[in-house]
Amino acid sequence: MAQKDIVHKVPLHTLKSTDEVRDLYDDWSKNDKYNQDMIDWKYSGPKEVVSAFLPHAPNKGIKILDAGCGSGLVGEELSKEGYSIIHGADIAAKLMNSIPAGIYQALHNVDLNKPINFTDDFFDAVLCVGTFTFGHVKAKALSEFTRIVKSGGIIGFTINEGVFLDHGFKSELDHLVIQKKITQLDFYLSDYLSSKGVKAWLGIYQVN
Ligand SMILES: C[S@@+](CC[C@H](N)C(=O)[O-])C[C@H]1O[C@@H](n2cnc3c(N)ncnc32)[C@H](O)[C@@H]1O
């Protein structure tokens, strides 16, 4: 695992605090380096998740939260498909500052490991791509996502294969399914960051 989780010179699994994660991404935003790296690394997470989301969300007027929006790559894919009411949320304000204008209706500088300041049922969908990984957003956020998405809405995400079992993501998903809070619509190992030998579980769930 050690070699393949190195991003922007830092092994992800060594990140200990949210401040370290924020600083990593804010630094990575300089000179458009994050976006350039994602192109060079053929990062396919945003396109894969939006493609999987599309058949379950035919109404392009729905309100979507891009949780861990970073530089806005998921918003760009959603926008290309005609979705226009998109909010972004991320801990790294400088990375969010690099987002092109006109994609997101609102950007929220928040820590997704804390309770999210949206009322119950505020969104029709939450997408969270690249953000469930080492030292980033923890499995408990899935439960918050089910709270802020209305019944019948969609949650779509990637979970880095390296954290799926050992960092409580499988058990949190199983728990939410057993509690009948969510229903699985799609779930498979996606290419994600295949140029680096890293795959991710891609999930699309309906909120009950
Ligand atoms: C690999 S990037 C993915 C960004 C974007 N979704 C994409 O696919 O390009 C991970 C993102 O998670 C954000 N992040 C990490 N920990 C976070 C936290 N506790 N709260 C909010 N955002 C967080 C980072 O700032 C970064 O933008």
101-130: pLDDT as tens digits? 999 999 999 999 999 999 999 999 999 999
- To test ligand 1's pocket by mutation, which of 15, 20, 21 has the most ligand atoms within 8 angstroms of CB? 21
Cβ neighbours of residue 137 under 8 Å, at least 6 residues apart? 67, 68, 112, 113, 128, 131
User: Which pairing describes strands 106-109 and 85-90: parallel, antiparallel, or unpaired?
Assistant: parallel
What confidence tier does 14 reach under pLDDT thresholds 50, 70, 90?
A: confident
Q: DSSP H helical segments within 29-149, as ranges?
A: 33-40, 45-53, 73-80, 93-97, 141-148
Ligand 1 atom closest to Cα of residue 73: 9
CATH code, 3-207: 3.40.50.150
Residues 140 and 104: their CA atoms lie apart, in Å, by: 25
Residue nearest to atom 27 of ligand 1 (CA): 70
Give yes or no for residue 130 CB within 6 A of ligand 1. Answer: yes
pTM for the whole structure: 0.96
What confidence tier does 5 reach under pLDDT thresholds 50, 70, 90?
A: low
